Every structure is written in C-alpha cells, then in structure tokens.
Structure 1
Amino acid sequence: MAKPISKVLVINDEKMVLRSLTNGLNSAAKHLDNPFGITFTGATTATEALDVLAEDGEIQTVLIDDNLYALARQNENRQASALELVHCIHELRPEVGIYIMIDEAQQDEVVDVLFSEAIAGYFYREERDYRGWFRILHAQIGEKARTPFYDALHSYVLMAKDAWHTPGHSSGDSLRGSPWVNDFHEFMGEHIFRADLSVSVDMLDSLLDPKGVIEDAQQLAAKAFGAKRTFFATNGTSTANKVIFQTLLTPGDKLLLDRNCHKSVHHGVVLSGAHPIYLNSSVNKTYGVFGTVPKAAIFDAIEKHPDAKVLILTSCTYDGLRYDLPPIIKAAHEKGIKVIIDEAWYGCARFHPAFRPTALEAGADYATQSTHKVLSAFSQASMIHVNDPDFNEHIFRENFNMHASTSPQYSMLASLDVGRKQATMEGFKLLNRTLELAKELRQSINSTGIFRALELEDLLPDEVKHDGVQLDPTKVTIDISGSGYTTEEFQKELFQRYNIQVEKSTFNTVTLLLTIGTTRSKVSRLYDALMRIAREKRAPRRLYRAPDIAGFTRLKFLPRDAYYAEGEMMPMIDEDDHPNQAMFGRVCADQIVPYPPGIPALVPGQEITEEILTFLLGLMKSHKRTEMHGVVFDGYVPTIRVLKSEEESIIKPLVE
C-alpha cells in the first residue's frame, strides 16, 4: 500500500540559515512519529518558492521567514514581502497551510500586518525548537487529513454490533448464504452492507440535524472549498438546487435563469412558485453545442428586472464552457440579486489555479456541486456551499429536511468526507496529471488526421466570443465528421470493439470527461482505438444535423400554477400526421425535455407555437435515440398535457 508523502517548504534567503532549519526539522521528522511522511525542503526566494509550489503537488505546508518582509522595506527589488508571498501562495494553492517565523521583538508588527491573512500559525525564530515545530506542523497536516465521518463509520463497522434496527438486510445477513441472492452479496462485498446503517446509530450523527461527526465533516469541507458553510446532499445536485430555490424564493418572486440550466432548476421553479425570466443561451449550430448566455443579455436582464431575487447560471456547462463570473456577480449584487452557480461539473476547480476562480471566489452566494462527477465520491453525493451574508439557516434547514431522506445512504456521506480529504491532500497533484493527460490526448486525437479535438474557438458561438468565456480542458469534444461513422455507430464501435464508453454526443461530436481517475493507460488505449478506426479510411458521410431548438415563447402563467392544474392530454399530430393546429396557442402544463441535451423545449405555463411543435416532432422522427421527457404516447400518437380552456380563464395570468 502506498504511503503518503507530505513536504514542508521552508523559505529563507540566507542559505546557511536555510540549511540549518531544514536539517534540524528533517532530523526531528526522523526521530518522531511521522505517519504522513513529512520531509522538509528549502527555497531562498519567493520566485523559487512559487515555482516549487506550482510543480510539486506534495507540498502541504509552507514556513516563511518574516525577514522577507523586513528586507522588502529596505530593498524593494531584492525580495517579495512575506505579505505578498502569502497572497501569492493562497492564490496558487489555497489548501496549503502557511506558517511564519518571526523575531520576538517584531512580533506585534508582523502579526498586525498579517492578521487578516490565512495564516495557520507563528514560530519564534530564536527558539529553534525543531521537535516542537514538527509536532505543530504534523498536527496541522493531520487536521486537513481528518475524515471524521468516515472514521466513525469505519470504527462502528469494526465493532461488529448485532443490528436490531434498519435497514432490513441487517448488515447483509438476509443475503448471505441465500441460494437466490448470495451472489449479489458476494458481488457487492461484505463491507458495503455492514456500512449501510441508519440514524439509529447515535455515534454516526444525523444528516437532518448534524451535531457530531457529520457536522465536523461539513466544516472541513467548507474550509477546503472556500465556503462559510457546506452541507452534504445525498440526492445529487438536483435536490441541492431545489433546496436553495425554496430557501430564497417565495411564490411570485422573480428569478433570472439560463434556459440551458439543468432540468432540476426548472423543477425548482415549479416547487418555489417563482416567476422565471428565461435567458436564452447561445448555440453553436456547427456542432450542436449549447453555450453560455451572452453577457450583454445577462446585464440587460439585471437592468430590466432589478426586483429579481435570484440569478442562476451553470458554470461550467456540460461541454466545459465557463463564464467570466466576477463582473456578472458584481452587477447582480449591485441590484441586491443573490447569485447561485450550478457547478455540478466543476467541483474540482478549487484545487488547481488552471480552473479558478471558482464561483465562490468570484463572489457567488451559493454553489452546488456534484462531487461524484469529477471527484472521488459515490453517485448522487453532492455538496451545497454557502457564502450568502444573509443566510437564514433555519429556513434553509426546513427546506433541506423537506427534500432529504430520513434514511440517507451513509456510505455516500463517507465518500464525500473521503473525496474532500483527497482533493485537499493531493488534488493539486492529481489535477496536474489530469491536465497533462488532457493536453496529450488532444495532440493524439489531432494526430490521427481524421478526428479533431475542438478548442475554445471552435465551441464558442459567435455571440459570446468576446465574453471572456473559458474552456475546462478536462472536457474534450471530438469532431468525428471525417470518420465515415455516425455518432451512434462510432460509440457502438468504441464500446463493443474497444471497451470504451464516452460521456455524451451530438450529431457530429462525442465528448470525453477526464477526471482525477484518468490514467495514461486509458489515454493510450483510446488513442490506439482512434488510430485503428482512422486507418480504415472510410469515406466521410453527410451527418444529419439535429433540428435547431425552437426559441422561447410567451410565458402566460406561473409554471407552478400551470403544473398543478388538472389539464388534458392533447395529441401533437392530426390524422394526417401533421402538427396538430389545435395545439397552437395552447398552454403547456408540463416540462417537455428532449434528452440529450436535457434543455426544456417547453416549460409549464409556456405558450405552444407551430415552431415548437414542428421542432419536437422533427426531433422525434429524425433522432430515435432522443428521449422526450414529458411526452406521453397514446398508442403511437404522442400527446402533451395542456391547460383546459376553462383553467386558462381561472388562473391569474402573468403581467407582461
């Protein structure tokens, strides 16, 4: 089993002093208990120190001599100040602990200057208490590495208590030895059942009212992700978004939202009773990719609707496009609008400067993250991060408890605890590797001569090319149009012949998701598969482009009011299989979502037009793999639930 390595970088510009410090500390590390593998290395300049931090992901802590600060006052060109260096380190590696060596005589001056900074502690230079310093640094690294919930769960399982409580499988005893289902027990493994416990076990705390190890784990996560408060969610970011909506919005409150948001956001609109102001996202028709909402459209909506309570955007998008968030959030806050950023696909961003600023660093009030998508957590395991200065925890908790199960999956919670630990202790190193592999993969794809890895300029729709949008390099979109395959055939070939499963596709692209679990072996196998397919030299084929999504029409009623109406089912086609003209002008009562990509073509309360109906029918005929959520088939006839005429006359219409 691999053992951890933890390096402490000591910064002092006197080489002899630096050697004495590192030798003394390394000697202490050799003679004392050292389970984290702590070693000490040195740097003589701020530039050298920052270079080491940028290259070595095993640096966990930095020890800075405050003489750097004194020297800066004497000679501005000789050395960066300790204060400046602290800022730079925090900008580069916010997870790294920072300690300062000071002279006792200058204690007050130095501490006053650095008081508001993220300093873990101070050491008196004259003491040279290497063993004492080592113990403190060891304790600080140990604090970061704690997994309070997972440790409690692990300890409890090893106690081997007899279970006279839920769940019904009773630590797996109901399955073990069964002639019918023992294979499931063996396949899943013994510990998955022994760790599947319930709120009946007091020492494991309660997700709905955490006061022990769950609360402790959430506090460690908040510190790691740069939040004031963090909450664990066990039903994905879908539930996290709904909880925040119901916390911030009351019926009739205005909400600015990207129409491209995940369908859970649109469900949250229904549940909260909010009045949505939909913002149309940009579209790259060449590749069937939905981009960001144009910055000008966001600013315009903020100016037109200063009474809006909330703005929600998705950053980064499924395809890896991320907003230039700071100016957008600043504009919203100037009008008193709270900002929620759905970071479902961007939970790793805090742990490498290539991905920052995160939503919270850009000033967002709330960020929701699918920790399971890009970090080491089980599916459905997510986090809600809060930096709202007006956060009402009581209201939030009531809404959280409304949606959360009273029987959460404890292994899922443990995976959030462990995922946070890994991101904190080795996230920078792992993401460095992932970025290197992403770069290599793009070069390999392009070298085939048939396939092409799309770059930011390829993916950006024209209307957002000057919006400061950036691309997450770990989302790799491949143009396959020169391969002679349709995307369906290409994915089938990869899956059946080369044992490769991709993330998503459009009519002429496939998207690969690289994570901290991506290995060079996987990259090599993918490259080999692409080269073999490229050497077939199939003649390119015309690929049928999906119909353009219809533009948003008028919202006649609050989505909540339309959704909770009885409504009636109405056929989408007439007897001649043409769009049913009787539906034109009617109001949809459900959310109609072509999946993929999962963007609603209709939301409850929206007026149905010929354009929308034609789009939906064209999509259903041309792309049989597209799921159409919200459409119900009466035999072979597709139908949609619409408001009855008498309901339209009763429900209060929205004011234009």
Structure 2
Amino acid sequence: MNPVSRVLIVSHDAVLARAMSKGLQLAAQTLSNPFGLCFSTAASPQNALADIAADGELQMVLVDRYLQSGGSYGDVVALLNAIGEYRPELSCYVLLGDEDEKLQIDELASHALSGYFYRDEADYPGWFRILSAELAEKSATPFYDALRRYVSMAKDSWHTPGHCGGESLRGSPWVGDFHEFVGENMLRADLSVSVPMLDSLMHPTGVIAEAQALAAKAFGARETYFATNGTSTSNKVIFQTLLAPGDKLLLDRNCHKSVHHGVILSGARPVYLDSSVNRQYGIFGPVPKATIFQALADNPDARVLILTSCTYDGLRYDLAPIIEAAHAAGIKVIIDEAWYGHARFHPALRPTAMEAGADYATQSTHKVLSAFSQASMIHVNDPDFDAHLFRENFNMHASTSPQYNLIASLDVARKQAQMEGYRLLARTLKLAEELRLKIDATGVFRVLGLDELLPEEVKGDGVRLDPTKLTIDISRSGYGAGELQRELFERFNIQVEKSTFNTLTLLLTIGTTKSKVSRLMDAMLRLARAQKPPRPLVRLPEIPRFTRLACLPRDAYYEAGERLALFDDEGRPNSALIGRVACDQIVPYPPGIPVLVPGQLIDESVLTYLARLMKAQKGIEMHGLADLQGEMAIRVLGEEDLSRVHCNINMS
C-alpha cells in the first residue's frame, strides 16, 4: 500500500494558490513520487486550521507570506505557531517575497520551520524535490533499513547468537516448529554486536544514533535514548545519573516498582508522597497538588521529583505548574510516562511531560505504540544533562547483546507515530467514544467519567483523563471482576487490561479496530442480558498510609536480616513484627502499590492490612514475601543489622 502525503497551500491569492497547486501537481506526475505527494489549498488561516484538524494524511503546510489581504508578519507567525501547537509533527514552509521577510519571520516564529521558497522563482519541480526530500528525512528508519539490508546480504554467521540465523532450528524434529512460528526474517535479524554496520547501542555513532536523533525530534526532546529492557530499567538509569547515596528525592508512593528499586540502587533518601485514593472503586489517583507543593517547601534540599503521568487508569497531572515550582526550587523532574507515549501525536492528549517542561521522561513505547514488548525510550530535556555520566549508567544496566529486532521496532514505531499518528489516534479516540456510549447503553455496565474516577482530594487540581483508557463499573452486573474476566476470556476470546474489585479497564491503542470493538460490544450485551442478581462485591482492605523510614532503603535491603512469620502459631497477625524494619519491598498486586519498602517501619496498621489481604483474597499476588519453613514471612533487620546501618527507629 502506497502512502498519501497531502501538502496544504495557504494563501488569500487564489490565482497564486492555483498556479502553485497545478505546478506542484504536474511535478508530482512527472517526477518520482514515492510518498504520494498531492496538493490542496486554503484561502484563510481559519480554513487552514480546519483542514489540518480534519485531514490525517496532511504532512506539510506551505504558508504564503501574504497570507491575507493587508496582512502582517504577525498573521503568518500566528498561523505557524498555531500549527506547531496543534500538530507539531507537520513540516512548515513559508513563501517569501525577499530575504528581509525571512529574518522577520525567523525572529518571531516559535515553530521550527523546515524552510522557505521565494515567490519570484516559481521553480515547482525544484520545490517538489525539496518537499519530497523532507518527507524522506522524516520517514527514514535508519536502523531498520540497515537491518533489512544486512539480512538481505545473507552473510554466513560465525558469531553469536548460537542459532546462527535460525540454522540450528530449521528442520529439527524437536524444535523446528519454533522456526516456523517465529519466522525466517525474525531469526535472521537476531544478530549481535559483531556486525559493525548495525552500530552499537552501548556507544552509538551510526544508524542507532541517527534513529535516536529522529526520535528526539519527533517526541520534542533534546536527546532520546532507546532502551531494550523496558521503562523499568530506564527509570533506574536516570536515578543513578541524578542521585548519589544519601541524596533526597520526592516520589509518588504509587510509582511503578522500578522506581522503588531505583531508590535502593541509587542509595537515595526518599520522601514518599501518599497518592489520592478513590475508595469507591479501589483506584489510586495522583498525589494532590497541595501535597506536592508542601513537600517542595519542606524539602529544599531535595534533588529530584518523580511522578507517574498518566496513571494506569489514565489520570494525568496538570504538570506545568508542578514542574515550574520544582524548577524554582532547583529540583529536577522525572515523569514516568510509560502509559502515555502516544500523547505527542494528538492535541486532545497533549501537553506531554516534555512540553510541560520535564527534565526527563520515560516511555514504554511498546505499551501504546507499535514497538515490541520491552522497547522503551528515554527523553531528555535537562539543561544540565551530563551525557557522559548518563552513558556510563546506561551501559551499567544495558545488555551488551541487545535484541536488534527491538531497536528496529522503536525506529518503526517512531516513524509511524510521526507520519500517521494523528490519523490513527483520531480513529482511536472516536472508537473510544463510541465504545463508551454503547457500553453505557447496556444499562448494566457503565464507563466511569473523570469526575467519578477522581478522588475528592484532587478534584480541583486540573487532572485530566486519557480517553483511550476506559474504566467500566461492573457493580450492577452480578459478576465479580475475576468471574467477568473469565467469562470474557473463555466465552468470547477477549482479554482485558486489568481490574479492581468492581471495575474492568480496557486499553484502546492505534491497533484497536472497529471489528474488535464490535466483538467486545457483542460480548458486553450478552453478559448484560444475563440479568444476574446483584451481589455484594468483596472490597479489598484499604491500604494504610506510609509510616516512616528508619534508614536508607539501600542499607536495609543489603543486610541479611532475619525472617519473621506473617502469622503466629494461632493464625493471628504476628505482633512480633510491629516496630521492626522491613528489608524488602512488599507489593500486593493488585493494586501494585508497595505496602512496605526497605527501611520502612512496620506498625499495626500495615501488619493488619497484610494479614487481612492474604486471608480475604486467595488469588492475590504478594510480591516480596519470604518463605520460612513453608510459611509466609517478612525479612526484617535484626539487632546487629540495626547498629550496623545506623538505623534510627525514631527517624521521621
């Protein structure tokens, strides 16, 4: 399938606009046109912006300096900046009368212009070649192209990996089916650093460096780094770059567990901020703005603030004022955008963390765009960025044998997002709205709106909702969440993203289709018609507030400690744990929020919560519990450990 790339010519001069469109279209017919360049006109800025909003195949805008009769430079600049605000991925050119006009527009326009043409030249074939070259540069996939080229060379492999492009698998009576399942090209593209033309992720100077530079431009960053072991590792790399042992950081307790692991590895001193909680639905929201601002005021010595935006459920901070306040205090800001990597490419989802002023953002490109699992990006806008230190930390965590198919998928995912992300996301948003209306129409299931999802304490904080994440209230259906998930999976071949005790969450992406929506709605209608009698839903115990740290998480984690059973001999919560200091991170899933982190003091509320959870929810996963002769246990600091790590039980 060949692409279509529309170019919009904006001018009040209808004669000129027609001549340009005709001349450029003739060039498109006579010259090579691999990107399907075609041309249309708009007579006013208002018409132009309407076309830009409506046309997902639009790739470029050519703006006449004489935009409207009696118009000024300001009119042109205003349109260029409006285009940049609405769709920053579009390339913009300006048609000038002379060189002086170029200087004026350069000075006033904040949108990065791709170039200029001059009215009196009217070199339509030359202009066409320039526009085509611009598209070639934007749509290039340097690494993916090099990988395909190398695979097509069919070189004999005398290097890793051991399957030698699949040769060890092909024809095997035992594992030949794996070769057939994975495919020839996937195996031949599974290469190693022994191939110089494919560059090195550890020290990129060739096609990987080129691909990362294109990604930085597309996502609005100064620097972008590809990561092949997920956003989990990306967060740890940034922590080790910015934090030395003992440095203080502010973090949302609801952050991904990789952030808490990063605290351990860096040796930092965390100040945990309790997130807001929607108790009706068991959903954890953002940290209240007032809590963040108070923490900034109370901790002027903090070096870093890290927040998650958007959350698993699609709740996103009003980041700009938070980041501004942090920067005013000299604090760097990291935003975990694992679930929000698509936001740059549709105005309904922006601003992104980079656009709001964050110093670092980590994105799971695989979660919402077309990259393979584990493929992520780190975006950097820190004006004090130390590239050497970052590279050393990156290489400490990165494999020296990265999966080159993952790198290629990042290259391709960036290209797709930049070239057709707006169109695909517009379709996704439309499908999300249709799905919401149809689910509500069942009269049994209901999609929760922002006001229903938001905990009370953040309702005035400017929090917004990513509409591609639908949270469905199942309270009236008569099904428990686990039972409903099984019905969808076993009867209707549908797997949902996650659940709480009375909700299901659906994730819509650029891969969501009308057919999938139709199949889901058929399932929901059938389940709604079952008319099961309502039944009480088992609510999870409420997670206790954070207690306090008795020592640095790293210090507690690296001690041997001792193991104490969660329950005593009579099956009651073991009171011997109260007042002890945890060595491990204890995370019930769901909801995935640490109840204990290393160095945290265990009190009665924490112990009671863990015990109730384990007794009431048999299917829950409890990460971090130790084994003590077949019994669940918590690893805690012993008496000798306390003195060795200078543990202060009374430390706040």
| 1:244 alignment partner in structure 2 | 238
Q: Distance in 2 between matches of 1:249 and 1:109?
A: 43
Cα offset, 1:646, TM superposition: 1.8
* 2:388 equivalent to 1:394: yes
- The one of 362, 374, 398 aligned to 1:368: 362
Q: Distance in 2 between matches of 1:592 and 1:458?
A: 29
| 1:17 alignment partner in structure 2 | 16
Q: What CA deviation, in whole Å up to 9, does each residue of 1:357-412 have, x standing for no partner?
A: 00000000000000000000000000000000000011100000000000000000
- For residue 71 of structure 2, give the secondary structure of its aligned residue in structure 1: helix
Instruction: For 1:395-410, list aligned pairs within 5 A.
Output: 395-410=389-404
**Letter of the structure 1 residue corresponding to residue 361 of structure 2:** A
| 1:445 alignment partner in structure 2 | 439
**Letter of the structure 2 residue corresponding to residue 555 of structure 1:** L
Superposed CA RMSD = 1.2
| 1:492 alignment partner in structure 2 | 486
Q: What CA deviation, in whole Å up to 9, does each residue of 1:312-368 have, x standing for no partner?
A: 000000000000000000000000000000000000000000010000000000000
Does the 8 A contact of 1:569 with 1:640 survive in 2? yes
Does the 8 A contact of 1:345 with 1:369 survive in 2? yes
- The one of 305, 308, 316 aligned to 1:314: 308
Q: What CA deviation, in whole Å up to 9, does each residue of 1:514-543 have, x standing for no partner?
A: 000000110011011000111111111100
| 2:518 alignment partner in structure 1 | 524
- The one of 592, 601, 609 aligned to 1:607: 601
Q: Distance in 2 between matches of 1:544 and 1:188?
A: 42
* 2:551 equivalent to 1:552: no
Instruction: For 1:184-583, list aligned pairs within 5 A.
Output: 184-583=178-577
**Letter of the structure 2 residue corresponding to residue 219 of structure 1:** A
Does the 8 A contact of 2:308 with 2:337 survive in 1? yes
Cα offset, 1:69, TM superposition: 7.7
Q: Distance in 2 between matches of 1:69 and 1:105?
A: 20
Q: Distance in 1 between matches of 2:556 and 2:103?
A: 64
Q: Distance in 2 between matches of 1:418 and 1:108?
A: 35
Cα offset, 1:21, TM superposition: 1.2
* Structure 2 unaligned regions, length at least 5: none
Does the 8 A contact of 1:69 with 1:82 survive in 2? no
Does the 8 A contact of 1:579 with 1:610 survive in 2? no
* 2:4 equivalent to 1:5: yes
Q: Distance in 2 between matches of 1:387 and 1:107?
A: 31
Q: Distance in 2 between matches of 1:483 and 1:190?
A: 47
Does the 8 A contact of 1:95 with 1:424 survive in 2? yes
Cα offset, 1:651, TM superposition: 1.4
Cα offset, 1:568, TM superposition: 0.8
- The one of 619, 636, 640 aligned to 1:642: 636
Cα offset, 1:647, TM superposition: 1.2
* 2:167 equivalent to 1:168: no
- For residue 341 of structure 2, give the secondary structure of its aligned residue in structure 1: coil
Question: Using a 3 Å threshold, how does the CA distance of structure 1 residues 73 and 123 change in structure 2: closer, same or farther?
Answer: closer
Question: Using a 3 Å threshold, how does the CA distance of structure 1 residues 199 and 434 change in structure 2: closer, same or farther?
Answer: same
Q: Distance in 1 between matches of 2:320 and 2:509?
A: 26
Q: What CA deviation, in whole Å up to 9, does each residue of 1:56-102 have, x standing for no partner?
A: 1111010000112883349xxxxx71100011000000000000000
- For residue 302 of structure 2, give the secondary structure of its aligned residue in structure 1: coil
Q: What CA deviation, in whole Å up to 9, does each residue of 1:8-50 have, x standing for no partner?
A: 0000012222111111111111111000000001101101101
- For residue 424 of structure 1, give the secondary structure of its aligned residue in structure 2: helix
- For residue 348 of structure 2, give the secondary structure of its aligned residue in structure 1: helix
Q: Distance in 2 between matches of 1:73 and 1:133?
A: 25
Bigger shift: residues 218-227 or 565-574: 565-574
- For residue 530 of structure 1, give the secondary structure of its aligned residue in structure 2: helix
Does the 8 A contact of 1:321 with 1:471 survive in 2? yes
Does the 8 A contact of 2:590 with 2:620 survive in 1? yes
**Letter of the structure 2 residue corresponding to residue 129 of structure 1:** D
- For residue 126 of structure 1, give the secondary structure of its aligned residue in structure 2: coil
**Letter of the structure 1 residue corresponding to residue 13 of structure 2:** E
Cα offset, 1:486, TM superposition: 0.6
Does the 8 A contact of 1:6 with 1:39 survive in 2? yes
- For residue 22 of structure 1, give the secondary structure of its aligned residue in structure 2: helix
- The one of 149, 163, 184 aligned to 2:143: 149
- For residue 35 of structure 1, give the secondary structure of its aligned residue in structure 2: coil
Cα offset, 1:513, TM superposition: 0.2
Does the 8 A contact of 1:256 with 1:311 survive in 2? yes
| 2:117 alignment partner in structure 1 | 123
* 2:98 equivalent to 1:99: no
Instruction: For 1:36-55, list aligned pairs within 5 A.
Output: 36-55=35-54
Question: Using a 3 Å threshold, how does the CA distance of structure 1 residues 322 and 105 change in structure 2: closer, same or farther?
Answer: closer
Percentage identity across paired residues of the two chains: 64
Q: What CA deviation, in whole Å up to 9, does each residue of 1:163-200 have, x standing for no partner?
A: 00000000000000111000111011111110000000
Cα offset, 1:119, TM superposition: 0.6
* 2:583 equivalent to 1:589: yes
Q: Distance in 2 between matches of 1:586 and 1:380?
A: 37
Q: Distance in 1 between matches of 2:514 and 2:615?
A: 41
Q: Distance in 2 between matches of 1:408 and 1:588?
A: 35
Does the 8 A contact of 2:12 with 2:68 survive in 1? no
Cα offset, 1:512, TM superposition: 0.3
- For residue 134 of structure 1, give the secondary structure of its aligned residue in structure 2: helix
Does the 8 A contact of 2:445 with 2:472 survive in 1? yes
Does the 8 A contact of 1:71 with 1:81 survive in 2? no
Does the 8 A contact of 1:148 with 1:216 survive in 2? yes
**Letter of the structure 2 residue corresponding to residue 651 of structure 1:** V
**Letter of the structure 1 residue corresponding to residue 336 of structure 2:** D
Q: Distance in 1 between matches of 2:108 and 2:137?
A: 22
| 2:32 alignment partner in structure 1 | 33
| TM-score, structure 1 as length reference | 0.98
Q: Distance in 2 between matches of 1:437 and 1:44?
A: 32
**Letter of the structure 2 residue corresponding to residue 26 of structure 1:** Q
| TM-score, structure 2 as length reference | 0.98
Question: Using a 3 Å threshold, how does the CA distance of structure 1 residues 470 and 177 change in structure 2: closer, same or farther?
Answer: same
Does the 8 A contact of 1:14 with 1:44 survive in 2? yes
- For residue 70 of structure 2, give the secondary structure of its aligned residue in structure 1: helix
* 2:174 equivalent to 1:180: yes
Does the 8 A contact of 1:284 with 1:291 survive in 2? yes
Q: Distance in 2 between matches of 1:634 and 1:253?
A: 35
Bigger shift: residues 118-127 or 614-623: 614-623
Q: Distance in 2 between matches of 1:642 and 1:323?
A: 35
| 1:77 alignment partner in structure 2 | none
Q: Distance in 2 between matches of 1:637 and 1:116?
A: 63
Question: Using a 3 Å threshold, how does the CA distance of structure 1 residues 420 and 535 change in structure 2: closer, same or farther?
Answer: same
Q: Distance in 2 between matches of 1:352 and 1:256?
A: 30
Q: Distance in 1 between matches of 2:43 and 2:24?
A: 17
Does the 8 A contact of 2:96 with 2:102 survive in 1? no
Aligned length: 650
Q: Distance in 2 between matches of 1:12 and 1:115?
A: 18
Q: Distance in 2 between matches of 1:58 and 1:354?
A: 18
Does the 8 A contact of 2:81 with 2:110 survive in 1? no
Q: Distance in 2 between matches of 1:108 and 1:36?
A: 28
Question: Using a 3 Å threshold, how does the CA distance of structure 1 residues 105 and 586 change in structure 2: closer, same or farther?
Answer: closer
Cα offset, 1:597, TM superposition: 2.0
Does the 8 A contact of 1:258 with 1:281 survive in 2? yes
